Amino acid sequence: MSAGPKVEERNSTASSQDRLIPWVLIAAEFSQRGGMDKANLELSQYLVAQGTPVHLVCHRVSMELAKHPLVTLHPVPRPWGSNFLGRPLLDIWGRSIADKITRCSPEARVLVNGNNCLSPGINWIHYVHHASKHLPAEGPLWFRAKEGWTKLNECRRELSTAKLARVFIANSHRTSRDLVERVGVDPQKIRMIYPGAEPNWRSVTSQARADARRLFQVRDTRLVAAFVGALGFDNRKGFDVVLEAWKALCADERWNVDLLVAGTGKGLNVWQKKVIADGLSDRVRFLGFIENIPDFLAAVDVLVSPVRYDSYGLNVQEAICRGIPAIVSSSAGIAERYPRELASFLVSDPEDVHALIDRLWLWRSDRTQWQARVQQFGDSLRTYGWKDMAVRIVSIANEVYGPGL
């Protein structure tokens, strides 16, 4: 392992591709499974569509992308499926491959995600560890100790990254501020680029809604709220606040809204037991990880996301692009894009259960009006797609490295 992984030969189908500048992308995943994973996937797909050779150093990648003739895959093991054990291997693999590629092609672009790899180049930031102070409140003692050590180590690596990267791409103004104020990054080294939206997603039609509600077995007489996010032992996503609010709301017979939970994680069993203990089994349903997010969103009426920390919030953006109202913490990156007429859907204090309840009753009081406003917001978001995001990233790479694509 000390010698580093072997750099695989690229399966080039055209000699003209050899004249193009390669990219080395180092990240945990390139898939549809999460916000940063999807952004990584979209950038990679744009690059190969332009005829650019791409080296992917990662744990997981979508099969379609991995098979592309311009992609050279450098798979990094994640022993026993553990992120904790896989993280240092991604760092070692990534630095070794980036070094070998840049020695062969000095003009090669190297882009990493945050602390995944301490390699100089472009650092695309989707999460600032110094800004998120939430550690697990549940789980075995050994797990909480491990997470505490991991948090300290990630913060230490973040400080190293601040001195190492040529330029930082932040996914929101909130992330930009956190990099400057909490990590000490030079503001001149930061460029802000929002994640792209799905240009083909449209507001849900009545037929699509009916089909989706049958698919997810939603009763015709009920309204549905959704929570989308990982269910870990920490409370960063605010699911504990959602459950407290639901317990209070369901005590009122006028509240005819059920909660669907899309997501999984190490804390799933704990949350399922809490729902049973609170007597909410018939009002809260866990669906696990959902592959088909567009159909899932078509089945729901509102998204609830009182996050304590979220550098952006792609789940919220996706809901809005489908014309679904979304209640989110005002500290989330996506909140800075909310128009004034939807400011009532922002929660200033994610700990405030009563504030969340008030926002939910506000939505419930006039669903038609709020949905019309959200549809206008969604139309605006869809004008800036994943391709637009990728073009801006390539532009920054050319600024840093010199002309390329």
Co-location of 152 and 240 in the same domain: no
Residue 10 lies in a domain: no
Q: Confidence band (pLDDT; 50, 70, 90) for 81?
A: confident
Residue 93 lies in a domain: yes
Co-location of 253 and 318 in the same domain: yes
pLDDT at residue 5 is higher than 60: no
Co-location of 227 and 294 in the same domain: yes
336 Cβ neighbours under 8 A, 6+ residues apart: 172, 173, 174
Residue 329 lies in a domain: yes
Average pLDDT, stretch 100-105? Answer: 94
Q: Which of 95, 53, 49, 57 is nearest to 73 (CA)?
A: 57
pLDDT averaged over every residue in the chain: 90
Co-location of 284 and 306 in the same domain: yes
Give pLDDT, residue 32: 84
Residue 302 lies in a domain: yes
Residue 8 lies in a domain: no
- What is the span of the domain harbouring residue 22? 15-196+385-401
User: Can you state the percent helix, strand and coil of the chain, rounding each to 5?
Assistant: 45, 15, 35
Burial of 216-229, coded b for 16+ CB within 10 Å and e otherwise, reads: bebeeeebbbbbbb
Co-location of 276 and 181 in the same domain: no
- 335: CATH: 3.40.50.2000
Co-location of 179 and 229 in the same domain: no
Q: CA-CA distance, 267 to 231, in Å (whole number)?
A: 5
Tens-place pLDDT, residues 146-189: 777 787 888 898 999 888 999 999 999 999 999 999 999 999 99
Give pLDDT, residue 54: 97
Q: Write the CA distances from 121 to 26, 115, 169, 337, integer angstroms.
A: 11, 12, 11, 29
Co-location of 186 and 225 in the same domain: no
Co-location of 183 and 240 in the same domain: no
Q: CA-CA distance, 215 to 295, in Å (whole number)?
A: 9
DSSP string, 104-142: H-TT-EEEEETTS---SSEEEES--GGG-----SSS-HH
Tens-place pLDDT, residues 235-268: 889 999 999 999 999 999 999 999 999 998 888 9
Give pLDDT, residue 145: 77
Residue 306 lies in a domain: yes
Q: Which amino acid is at 123?
A: N
Contact call for residues 331 and 350 (beta carbons, < 8 A): yes
Looking only at Cα atoms, what is the longest distance across the chain? 70
| Number of folded domains that form the chain | 2
